[in-house]
Amino acid sequence: EPEVTQTPSHQVTQMGQEVILRCVPISNHLYFYWYRQILGQKVEFLVSFYNNEISEKSEIFDDQFSVERPDGSNFTLKIRSTKLEDSAMYFCASSTGQRRGDTQYFGPGTRLTVL
């Protein structure tokens, strides 16, 4: 069964460093998303991406964040200058995008630790 994959599973970085989190969505899906979950808290929406551009973004997704689909398979989240409060689990998700409300399938997550 097709699944969303994410790399790395765990990333440790120093405050102020740039990190890139990578995701490979399910191959026939058209909508891609990033969510984050601070330890012990709920999952929060960051950004959605469709047709090579941002579709929606939350207040969390400020100028420090960017997303890109550099090729036909990868979908990346870049944090330019990490802060301590960026420490969280980051989930990538994808959906077919044929209609709103389609089920989003999540990857296993990348745990980001900012020291």
Nearest residue (CB) to other proteins, 4 versus 114: 4
CB nearer to other proteins: give 82 or 104: 104
Least distance between other proteins and beta carbon 19 (Å) = 18
Distance of CA 45 to the CA centre of its chain: 9
As a three-state string, the secondary structure of 84-95 is: HHHCEEEEEEEE
| Least distance to other proteins, CB of residue 68, Å | 19
**At a CB cut-off of 8 Å and minimum separation 6, what does 14 contact?**
82, 114, 115
Q: Which residues contact other proteins by CB under 8 A?
A: 31, 33, 35, 41-45, 48, 55-56, 58, 89, 91, 93, 95, 100-109, 111
Q: Report in angstroms how near the CB of residue 16 gets to other proteins at its nearest.
A: 27
- Decide whether 25 or 109 has the Cβ nearer to other proteins: 109
DSSP 86: G
Least separation in angstroms between residue 101's CB and other proteins is 4
Least Cα distance to 72 among 16, 19, 13, 29 occurs for: 29
How far is residue 32's CA from residue 23's CA, in Å, rounded to a whole number?
A: 9
The one-letter amino acid at 108: P
Smaller CB distance to other proteins: residue 65 or 91?
91
